[in-house]
Structure 1
């Protein structure tokens, strides 16, 4: 059965690949699973039909028959469990890959999202300029730790996995800030992720929706 995912009718990032449906698209592309996309407006995301799929009124969601899953990490994990290609067969390596999935979303992403909040939501507050360096310092702590762990390896734990997929997706949010460039091995790691054909297909599909020609 072909799954259906939801995506922004018009993404806030204009198709730069930062919307979370790109992560799900990438996972589906990596495992060779065709999928359909249902585009939703910001208004539709708050309507009962969508709230039945995602109680917090966000995207993406994933529907497959009578199964509905929300939250990007849960969706990517479901895809990785269902199909070969994103989780190792060895039990210990599999556990480590899942650990990196959680680390990407629970440890590395929160301070990065805080930077977006500090700039876009709190930027006009009188204390914003004092807070911004603190937020950036917290990001640098995490990136320093991640950089040391990755060292000169291509991927976090041997072969590419769902852990890398989510970690690269998270780090991509830092590109415009310039902070990622302070860690050459992490910048190269992200570039390797972007160079994967599956990522290129996912990015192109998300960009096409937001192209002025569409």
Structure 2
């Protein structure tokens, strides 16, 4: 395994001053960027896993992985597509952010309702965030960063923005004046807020005041603040 792997322990109890669960041999481990492309602004998908673990009060370890190490056999054995995050707990090793967050939510109280119908709706919102709302938002990044120098880029960008606005308009109408998507905060909100955060720099989120306020509520949650701070600390410039 590459020497660019580093292991750190994230202790819920140490950061909160509470009586959180003690880390032991079964403490789950996740992977995160050694240097995040966003500089630790919370947009990398490993932040979503951190946030979920913080919400349920589960201690965890983080294995920091460099870009070259992501393509090495050791990491490909965990994630066949050479990406992050991955998640290991005992003999279980899984990948894909949505699957990891769902696993955490199913194993610990706090991210899924106890009522079966409400639980199903929360899981539906998880899928909606990743499968319906996020794809056009990711397309915006592609249009600006990957395809920005193409001769047809200026013509394509308005089409991408139109698709984003369609989704935001639909989501805004459904959310209305509610705090969260379906009653109390759930894993569905965690993923939806994480997805919408990618739009902050574009300014388009401000066109939908209730969605902007929704994202603000997500960012204000103590668990999100801890996850964000942990990710930012890793990416802080060396003194």
- TM-score, structure 2 as length reference: 0.89
Which of 63, 67, 75 is matched with 1:50 structurally? 75
* Unaligned segments of structure 1, at least 5 residues: none
Distance in structure 2 (CA, Å) of the matches to 1:185 and 1:104: 17
**What is the aligned partner in structure 2 of residue 155 from structure 1?**
180
SS in 2 for 1:14: coil
Paired residues for 1:62-211 under 5 Å: 62-211=87-236
Paired residues, what number?
214
Structure 1 residue ranges, 4+ long, deviating more than 3 angstroms after superposition = none
Deviations 1:15-68 (A, max 9, x none): 000000000000000000000000000000000000000000000000011100
**What is the aligned partner in structure 1 of residue 19 from structure 2?**
none
* Residue 35 (structure 2) pairs with residue 7 (structure 1): no
Which of 60, 68, 79 is matched with 1:35 structurally? 60
Q: CA RMSD in A?
A: 0.6
SS in 2 for 1:15: coil
Distance in structure 1 (CA, Å) of the matches to 2:83 and 2:108: 25
**How far 1:201 moved relative to its partner?**
0.1
**How far 1:163 moved relative to its partner?**
0.1
SS in 2 for 1:199: helix
Work out which structure has the larger RCO, using CA pairs closer than 8 Å and 6 or more positions apart in sequence. 1
- TM-score, structure 1 as length reference: 0.99
* Unaligned segments of structure 2, at least 5 residues: 1-25
Deviations 1:145-204 (A, max 9, x none): 000000000000000000000000000000000000000000000000000000000000
Higher Rg: 2
Distance in structure 2 (CA, Å) of the matches to 1:135 and 1:128: 10
**How far 1:213 moved relative to its partner?**
3.0
